[in-house]
């Protein structure tokens, strides 16, 4: 039994070795039988051309070209358009300063101011005379038993007194304006010296005149309506009547003077400010020329 097993194992080993030897011989025979193709020289002119449809064989120059980085692309510069000129608007010409009037016009202005001052003085004098009439009426006819002409005379004199004083306000103010314009052109130094004084006096005079007139009328009205009629202003006494109506007229004169002073200052300053007049100026520690113009 042992002998049969050994024979069978030996036969199997022989068969395996024989199969491996035959496989080795078959593979080596196929390798030796394959034709060997030599590469054609790159620079040989007699190299056969590739058949149509076959890809061309790569040369050494093609390999070098493939390994080189691509050449940078040159971009043509975009032309920059020329700047379009923008039309600059021309600045507006400066406003011309006030032109100096002719000598004849300035002389007419001075004469007009004198005439207006005279007319203002005349109307103020008329108002003063009318207040004198009122003093006469309240101290004379109004104190009689019959009172003939008292009321009608007083009521006629009072409106004309107010009208005359109102006219004096306008005439004096217009005259001062004309004189201020004349001095602003012809005598700027004089106007420059007078202007602060005129303004500092004119405004208080206007306020004082109106305040005094209102105060006198308030006292008279309270005295007239009190049971003890005539405790403050007893018009039976000429002195009291003169004090009352004279105070009213002085108040009106103060208002007219104040209006004239303020008008003179405003008119002359306007001319000097808008005309570009140069005037010498002297201060505590400096002296020079002051140039006044419109801004």
Contact 179, 271 (CB under 8 A): no
Determine, yes or no, domain membership for 192.
yes
H or E stretch covering 290: strand 287-291
Counted domains in the chain: 1
What pLDDT band is residue 8 in, cutting at 50, 70 and 90?
low
User: CA-CA distance, 121 to 172, in Å (whole number)?
Assistant: 8
Determine, yes or no, domain membership for 76.
no
User: CA-CA distance, 229 to 262, in Å (whole number)?
Assistant: 41
The residue segments making up the domain with residue 199 are 103-291
Helix, strand or coil, per DSSP, at residue 107:
helix
User: Higher confidence at residue 9 or residue 208?
Assistant: 208
Backbone angles phi, psi at 268, to 5 degrees: -65, -40
Determine, yes or no, domain membership for 196.
yes
pLDDT, residue 15, reads 61
pLDDT, residue 250, reads 96
Structure confidence by residue, pLDDT tens digits, 90-130: 666 555 466 788 889 999 999 999 999 999 999 999 999 99
User: Higher confidence at residue 5 or residue 213?
Assistant: 213
User: CA-CA distance, 111 to 116, in Å (whole number)?
Assistant: 9
Determine, yes or no, domain membership for 14.
no
H or E stretch covering 7: helix 2-33
H or E stretch covering 278: strand 278-282
CA-based angle 273:177:116, to the nearest 5?
160
Structure confidence by residue, pLDDT tens digits, 185-208: 998 888 889 889 999 999 999 999
Determine, yes or no, domain membership for 158.
yes
CB-based burial label for 93 (10 Å; 0-12, 13-18, 19+):
exposed
pLDDT, residue 283, reads 43
Give the single-character DSSP code of 293.
Answer: -
Measured from the Cβ of residue 267, the count of other Cβ atoms closer than 10 Å reads 23
Determine, yes or no, domain membership for 26.
no
What pLDDT band is residue 286 in, cutting at 50, 70 and 90?
very low
Determine, yes or no, domain membership for 86.
no
pLDDT, residue 72, reads 65
Determine, yes or no, domain membership for 32.
no
């Amino acid at each position: 039994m042992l002998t049969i097993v050994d024979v069978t194992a030996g036969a199997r080993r022989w068969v395996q070795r024989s199969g491996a030897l035959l496989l080795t011989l078959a593979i080596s025979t196929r390798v030796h039988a394959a034709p060997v193709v030599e590469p054609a020289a790159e620079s040989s002119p007699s190299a056969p051309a590739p058949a149509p449809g076959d890809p061309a064989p790569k040369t050494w120059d093609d390999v070098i070209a493939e390994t080189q980085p691509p050449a940078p692309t040159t971009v043509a510069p975009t032309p920059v358009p020329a700047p379009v000129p923008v039309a600059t608007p021309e600045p507006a010409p400066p406003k011309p300063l006030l032109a100096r009037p002719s000598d004849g016009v300035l002389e007419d202005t001075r004469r007009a101011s004198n005439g207006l001052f005279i007319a203002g003085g005349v109307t103020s004098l008329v108002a003063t005379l009318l207040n004198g009439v009122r003093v006469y009426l309240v101290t004379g006819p109004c104190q009689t038993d019959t009172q003939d002409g008292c009321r009608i005379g007083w009521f006629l004199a009072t409106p004309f007194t107010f009208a005359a004083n109102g006219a004096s306000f306008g005439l004096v103010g217009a005259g001062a304006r004309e004189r201020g314009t004349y001095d602003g052109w012809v005598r700027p130094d004089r106007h420059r010296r007078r202007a602060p004084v005129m303004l500092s006096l004119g405004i208080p005079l206007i306020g004082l005149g109106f305040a005094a007139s209102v105060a006198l009328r308030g006292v008279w009205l309270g005295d007239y309506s009190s049971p003890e009629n005539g405790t403050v202003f007893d018009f039976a006494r000429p002195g009291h009547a003169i004090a009352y109506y004279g105070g009213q007229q002085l108040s009106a004169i103060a208002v007219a003077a104040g209006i004239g002073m303020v008008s003179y200052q405003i008119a002359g300053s306007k001319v000097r400010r808008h005309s570009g007049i140069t005037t010498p100026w002297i201060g505590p520690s400096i002296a020079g020329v002051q140039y006044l113009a419109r801004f």
